Amino acid sequence: MIFTVAIDGPAAAGKGTISRRLAAQFGFAHLDTGLLYRAVGAMGGDPVAAAQALSPADLDRPGLRSLEAGQAASRVAAIPEVRAALVAFQRRFARREGGAVLDGRDIGTVISPEAEVKLFVTASAEVRARRRFDELEAAAPGAQDYDTVLAQTRERDARDMGRADAPLRPAEDAVMLDTTDLSIEAAVTRACDLVADALARATP
């Protein structure tokens, strides 16, 4: 069975957690497409050449979850040639046999507009910055301050939404899931219900 769940949204909205839980719940493969861009940004040098040479092993590089890697990912993702080099890989993954969950910023609009389920997971910039700050603080106390993380969050949002190629935006038929005042359990339950309903409709 081919069944794609496309999950888009800004950084720290909760889409990664929801995606992983959905994949585990329904036995689907999962791809965090942001890791592709983080890996390209972390490789340094010519980002287009790095994207063209990217291998699955590069997704296991240390430090890809750091704030710096996220900023680098946002910068290289604005380069059309980088995006083009990574699109084919993502599209093959999305339509693989057995079902797939992909999370990123242009899954429902560019990578898999035919996805059976499309979610756009969002939250206020302040809440997303607080979540990210808490993660960073737990990993390295005192290394960052909240105001800096908030400024970087807003900067990244502006860059992701303002880029000419595949800007961050909800697909027209995406279901909006605002996690600002929603627990992760409630968000996961809502997402699971949507996927279960779509699977029921897709199954003869």
User: Which CATH number do you get for residue 13?
Assistant: 3.40.50.300
Residue 57: is its pLDDT beyond 90? no
Determine the pLDDT at residue 88.
84
| Residue 12 assigned ligand-binding role | yes
Determine the pLDDT at residue 56.
79
Average model confidence (pLDDT) across the chain: 93
What does the pLDDT average to over 191-201?
A: 96
| Residue 13 assigned ligand-binding role | yes
| Residue 14 assigned ligand-binding role | yes
| Residue 16 assigned ligand-binding role | yes
| Residue 189 assigned ligand-binding role | no
What does the pLDDT average to over 48-52?
A: 93
Residue 196: is its pLDDT beyond 80? yes
Residue 55: is its pLDDT beyond 90? no
Share of the chain above pLDDT 90, in %: 71
Residue 129: is its pLDDT beyond 90? yes
Give the residue numbers spanning the domain of 65: 4-202
| Residue 56 assigned ligand-binding role | no
Can you give the pTM of this predicted structure? Answer: 0.85
For residue 37, give every residue at least 6 positions away whose Cβ sits within 8 Å of its Cβ, in sequence order, or none: 73, 74, 76, 77, 82, 86
Confidence class for position 166, pLDDT limits 50, 70, 90: confident
Strands 29-32 and 117-122: unpaired
| Residue 77 assigned ligand-binding role | no
Residue 22: is its pLDDT beyond 90? yes
Residue 204: is its pLDDT beyond 80? no
Could you tell me the end-to-end alpha-carbon distance of the chain, in angstroms, rounded to an integer? Answer: 11
Number of folded domains that form the chain: 1
Please give the residue that has the higher pLDDT: either 197 or 143: 197
Determine the pLDDT at residue 140.
86
152 close to 130: Cβ distance less than 8 angstroms:
no
Burial class (CB in 10 A: 0-12, 13-18, 19+), 143: exposed
Confidence class for position 202, pLDDT limits 50, 70, 90: confident
* Integer Cα distance of 126 and 150 in angstroms: 6
Determine the pLDDT at residue 164.
82
